[in-house]
Amino acid sequence: MFKKILIANRGEIACRVMKTAKRMGIATVAVYSDADANALHVRMADEAVGIGPAAAAQSYLVVDNIIDACKKTGAEAVHPGYGFLSERAEFARALEKAGIVFVGPNVHAIEAMGDKIESKKFAAKAKVSTVPGFLGVIEDDRHAVKIANEIGYPVMIKASAGGGGKGMRIAASAAEVAEGFARAKSEAKSSFGDDRVFIEKFIINPRHIEIQVLGDKHGNVIHLNERECSIQRRNQKVIEESPSPLLDEKIRAAMGAQAVALAKAVNYDSAGTVEFVAGQDKSFYFLEMNTRLQVEHPVTELVTGIDLVEQMIRVAAGEKLAIRQGDVKRNGWAMECRIYAEDPFRGFLPSIGRLVRYRPPEEGTRGGATVRVDTGVVEGDEISMFYDPMAAKLVTHASERLAAVDAMADALDAFAIEGVEHNVPFLAAVMQSERFRKGTLSTGFIAEEFPDGFKGVAPEGDTLATLAAVGAALDHVYGERKRRISGQLTGRLVTRQKERVVRVGAQDVKLEIVRQEDAFAVRLADTKKRTLVLQSHWKPGDPIWRGLIDGREVAVHVRPMANGFLLSHRGSREKVYVYTAREAALASLMPEKKSADSGKVVKSPMPGLVLSIAVKPGQEVQSGETIAVVEAMKMENVLRAERDGKVKTVHVKPGESVAVDAAIVEFQ
């Protein structure tokens, strides 16, 4: 077994690998860019080596720098994590030449399966069912349009060396193919150093199901069942689970057998994933093979009880698999949500900045459900514009699917993040979706359920009652604290009026609140005339109100604001104000402040780097025409004109960094 390994990655996956290595008694080495000098993975490692500037192309993607770090520290092996160099055959080859073990598959398997185009050719030769498409070299956008016309729309343009949704576009017309081809090639070049793309038929209403495989260097290959990853946005997975609600035992066995056969054909000898696109009728087609550890591997670990990172390390050290196919059991259901630093209320635009608050829910097993948090940040860290915006992975496990979903909903409510925008409210809303809870999934789920973007969930029923009751309790606690301020004039005791009107967003909830020693009794003036009993040790300053409501555990995210609170619960995020009846009547007369018209200015919707400007002063521009391209967190975002007009001023140049809402172009 190795005595020391280097993790050629950053963020949560670097921390994840280190946890297993330390448990196995293996010393760890971290590498870091200038932007990550104080990152969590650097602090967790036994040793750390700087490898270059913030840009990944100058640090984490530089093979020589990784090998130099191994030589400096005496690391015997390298675990690549996912992304970056994890599927680069030249990296594995360079390590082998330097006498360093690659904790991953052999070079032949990486070359055969890691390249999206070559893997499809290989699968076709092996008589594996594949999606119709063109796997040759595409010369230019006109050639791409010709191919797409022959295949039939819609089509998917996809980077050959891609992954994580980078370098990928879905096109439904010739015009979309032409633009998508250019964007996909550019993203592929900047993210993977390889601008080759291919085009294939896009299966309508598909599901994304993948099989986890595990092989050793002695010819043994097994599969660890499936994961469903259909909840995606812009081809980026957001929520994953295991097992899949779609599959039955017959289809599961067929997919597993096909994945194992494919892996054996290339002598696969590590953890890897064979991905399939599946129809609602349970038909399935080979999509690609990822020759690395997947982001969503924790759901498989929780369902099978097998540590995939440990197996990768043991296999790399030459050990035989101690697990046989018959030993693989499924226990319960696991769910994973990716916590991204992005604003779901503004089209999921990336958000960067300091994590002023970062309090994940408590890990462990409670009430029959397990909560696991894989993260690469702590409170006070900074979310950078240079890397993927994923801050953490929240994973739950329970005996059945709905129990895992409910455990996830509770865990999301208890996740406190401030300083950057995040997608927790959106994820919480999905957990409440009737369609999601039924397991009626497809890769179009988000676009279909939120066609106009995510606007939040209007609270109703129990959620509305919870927000109103908690808001009233918070207000009462603040009022009690004010009464205890020293130096106040003596005289008649202050008594609080028990009748309150709680304004939750646009809804008014009338209630009565009475203190009962360590609890509050809240009587709602609704048709049910319910009385809720709230018990909590919450105190001003706590980011999460945790407590019992009628004996049920509840968590509500609390952010104080002028005269009220911003409360988040079950996907609803609302401004909450607590009034007396007279105050509520007066507040309703206050005019709303309206923002000024900014239709003449195209602003950057996110902080990022200006890649190109497509217009110049005096130019006539039509609605929908491209104005500029801004890159943020490895994704290229096209800014378009919202109306016809004439360009007055261009405020930025290519290569400049811009803040959110920075003016890009102004019209006359």
The pLDDT tens digits of the residues spanning 88-117 come to 999 999 999 999 999 999 999 999 987 777
Identity at 151, one-letter amino acid code: I
Residue 597 has pLDDT above 60, yes or no: no
pLDDT tier for residue 164 given thresholds of 50, 70 and 90: low
pLDDT tens, position by position, 255-267: 999 999 999 999 9
CA distance between the termini of the chain? 69
Residue 10 has pLDDT above 90, yes or no: yes
pLDDT tens, position by position, 332-353: 999 999 999 999 998 888 888 8
Cα dihedral sign for 315, 319, 323, 324? positive
pLDDT tens, position by position, 552-590: 999 999 999 999 999 999 999 999 999 999 999 999 898
pLDDT tier for residue 307 given thresholds of 50, 70 and 90: very high
From 275, 288, 296, 636, active-site residue = 288
What percent of the chain has pLDDT above 90? 73
Cα 457 to Cα 357: distance, rounded to the nearest angstrom: 24
Q: Which of 180-189, 319-328, 362-371, 484-493 has the lowest mean pLDDT?
A: 484-493
Supply the pLDDT for residue 463.
95
Domains observed in the chain: 4-103 (3.40.50.20), 132-201 (3.30.1490.20), 208-449 (3.30.470.20), 461-482+497-587 (3.30.700.30), 601-667 (2.40.50.100)
Q: Which of 445-449, 472-476, 641-645 has the lowest mean pLDDT?
A: 641-645
What 8-state DSSP symbol labels residue 87?
T
Tell me, yes or no, if 288 is annotated catalytic: yes
pLDDT tens, position by position, 46-94: 999 999 999 999 999 999 999 999 999 999 999 999 999 999 999 999 9
Tokens for 422, please give them: 């995040």
Mean pLDDT for 263-279 is 94
Burial (CB < 10 A; 0-12, 13-18, 19+), residue 255, is buried
Residue 19 has pLDDT above 60, yes or no: yes
Among candidate residues 657, 609, 603, 600, the one with its CA nearest the CA of residue 629: 609
Mean pLDDT of the chain: 92
Residue with tokens 């070359």: 111
Supply the pLDDT for residue 121.
80
For β-strands 364-366 and 620-621, DSSP reports them as unpaired
Mean pLDDT for 317-338 is 97
Write down the pTM of the prediction: 0.84
